[in-house]
Amino acid sequence: MGMIGVAAAVLSVLRSGRTVRQWRHVPEVSASSVDASVLAVVPARNEEATLPRLLPGLVGQPGVRVVVVDDASADGTAAVARSLGAEVVESSGPAPGWAGKTHAMHLGVASARDEEWLLFVDADVTCTPDLVGRLVASATELGADLVSSAARGTGPAWWFLLPAFNTLVFEGSPPDGRGATALAVGHCVLVRRAAFEAAGGWEAIAGTHADDVGLGTLIRDSGGFVKFVDASALLTTSGIDTFGDCWRSLRKSIQPGFREMFGPWGRVLLVVAGLLHLAYGLVPLLRWRSPWSWLAWFAQTVPHREFLRRNGQPETAAVLAPLSWATIGVFLLDCALRPGAQWKDRRVG
């Protein structure tokens, strides 16, 4: 067990140091604002309750035309969107070979006129009235063809589960742009229309359920420059505030994502990753009297604290980092051993 403690400490220090360094590649959203011609597309399925929080802050932003795509909703999504000043495109659901959200965003883009930029925003997001202008300013200052940002929220998932998941995201899609995939977060993605069309648009990744990373990677691999920025002070989301909603949301991305990337090996890799992360979190807890375990524990708290600070969460929760990692291990095992994921009453895994 002594060597296990040493290995856990060394791995935790190296891994945590890498995550903290990656945060240095995430700039704050620009303090300036630039008016531009922007088509904002909001994919919405049964979102009559969330649209009244999003649309008042988005409709009326300078140069922005807002289109809500009613994705076969069973509630009053379309009526609510129209009453709040958005245009509505109605859909009967995804065409064969398309993922639901990707198809909805594709239909929204089809209504474009002469807009220079395309903005894709989740329906459960709330934004400040200067969001779009500051994102355009960020893209202009950075020379980026695509910028995106995660929103912030409230609830236990934000201070317990998501800090560890953030490290997994940075390892798979590092913000320095040097990973196999490019980092983008579907809460809010702004892309230059010319780059989007040159890369093939949503048709090029029609079947993907990881539409955010898929689009970022598509733009990057087509010669565009992709940048993840921190605009979380301008964005909030209610979609993953409860622990259960967060678990289901992450599951509907991770499970089909592994299947798309690794085929039949996806479940095997999830089992291996689950067991390793379970051990990664439990070793510092079970061997808490060892100084090596204390070092591992401390190292794991450092990137957690950075995530919590950036997202306005209680930084003291970073001390729970090993428990968070053990829970991530259980989560990955759940993705592997319980096939099939549901989201918005649709099977996505």
SS3 of residue 211 by DSSP: helix
pTM of the model: 0.94
Asked whether residue 1 carries a pLDDT value surpassing 60, the answer given is no
Task: Determine if residue 155 is left, alpha or beta; phi over 0 gives left, psi from -120 to 50 gives alpha, anything else beta.
Answer: left
Q: Residue 215's pLDDT is what?
A: 97
Written as six digits, the tokens of 210 are 């990881």
Q: Residue 258's pLDDT is what?
A: 84
pLDDT digits (tens, 9 = 90+) for 88-108: 999 999 999 999 999 999 999
Q: Of 68, 55, 64, which is closest to residue 34 (Cα–Cα)? A: 64
Written as six digits, the tokens of 164 are 């560890």
Asked whether residue 244 carries a pLDDT value surpassing 80, the answer given is yes
How far apart, in whole angstroms, are the C-alpha atoms of residue 215 and residue 219? 6
Contact 215, 191 (CB under 8 A): yes
Higher-confidence residue: 69 or 291?
A: 69
Written as six digits, the tokens of 260 are 């798309």
Written as six digits, the tokens of 250 are 């992450």
Q: Which residues are CB-contacts of 291 (< 8 A; sequence separation ≥ 6)?
A: none
How far apart, in whole angstroms, are the C-alpha atoms of residue 282 and residue 4? 11
Q: Residue 252's pLDDT is what?
A: 86
pLDDT digits (tens, 9 = 90+) for 99-132: 999 999 999 999 999 999 999 999 999 999 999 9
Q: Residue 199's pLDDT is what?
A: 98
Q: Residue 349's pLDDT is what?
A: 59
Q: Which amino acid is at 203?
A: E
pLDDT digits (tens, 9 = 90+) for 169-189: 999 999 998 899 999 999 999
Q: Encode 78-93: b = buried (16+ Cβ within 10 Å), e = exposed.
A: bebbeebebebbebee
